[in-house]
Amino acid sequence: MRVDFWQNRSVLVTGATGLLGSWLVGELVDQGAKVTALIRDRIPFSLLFSRGLDRRIASVSGEIQDYPLIERTLAEYEIEIVFHLAAQTQVLVANRSPVSTFESNIRGTYMLLEACRHHPLLKSVIVASSDKAYGEADVLPYDETTPLRGVHPYDASKSCADLIANSYAQSFGLPVAITRCGNLYGGGDLNFARIVPGTIRSVYQGERPVIRTDGTLRRDYFYVRDAVLAYMTLAERMLTANAKGTAYNFSSDVPLSVLEITAHILKAMGREDLQPKILGENLGEIKDQWLCAQKARAELGWAPKFTLEQGLRETVDWYTHFLRGTRTAASG
């Protein structure tokens, strides 16, 4: 990335209180960008607030589906670059509440893109899709030519948003690029139903971690700081290369089973004696799913900077500090 690229750039980040959004905002402001964040709910433990990042940015309160609000935000803050991360991201929530998921992930995407289409200062939009947009495929790893065939509510919502983004690029010339990442992990993810934070919390409490499936499902586990650099690299290249409608996979290229990522966490925490409890539940999830990131490496010159061991070490350190703080607060 160019050292001075982000200096005084006007950037909108939707989904700024999420795991990726919080880390992205932090990196953008550190590099001198003028960041505006769209925030639906104030989440006190989000890194956006716990790191004081909210005091270094402009914030707009509201829903991503609110077209007049998005249009006003783009105009008044003179936005040049948009990172669209706002979404309902939890698979189990999507299964319980598909309508709200479709409202956020699908309607929210086309409302944002329609507002962007009419904003004359816009230079690029990065839309966060997901590896789940591919659905289930026979050939692994998934590359960018793999058809989008999401079936379950969350997967289908990401397939739709992905296709809509490409439609705006091809039909209206909107400068949109699409990202598809593996399973993100890193400090600040407070959804303890996910395997990485859930395992770390169990081990910190001296308990055996719980694996809901049979532990054989294989996924990419992609460190959030690598994802931030991937998004920013893509946004920079959007201004110098013809990437409209282009999708890029970003991943570590190292698929791991649930049992394997759990073992890595236990090793990082020095508690390999705490063998996991395996529930063997059938949650209707895709068995094996991981990405090929060769296109991003070749066309963008991007590569992960952190090994799995480095990413997990930083992640364990963050949660240890966080959990120690919450325990102290509870006892005080």
Q: Is the peptide bond before 98 cis (omega within 30 degrees of 0)?
A: no
DSSP state of 291: B
- HSE toward the beta carbon, residue 265, CA cutoff 13 A: 31
**Is 168 tagged catalytic?**
no
Q: In terms of residues, how long is the chain?
A: 332
N-to-C CA span, the chain: 45
**Pairing mode of beta strands 256-257, 218-219:** antiparallel
Residue type, 13: V
Phi, psi torsion values for 11, nearest 5 degrees: -125, 135
Cβ-contact 243, 178 below 8 angstroms = no
What is the per-residue burial (b if ≥16 Cβ within 10 Å, else e) of 117-151?
A: eebeebebbbbbbbbbbbbeeeeebbbbebebebe
Bridge-partner residues for 223, per DSSP?
Answer: 185
Q: Which residues contact 214 (CB under 8 A, 6 or more apart)?
A: 278, 280
The active-site residue, picked from 154, 185, 221, 248, is: 154
**Integer Cα distance of 238 and 196 in angstroms:** 32
| Catalytic positions, written as ranges | 154
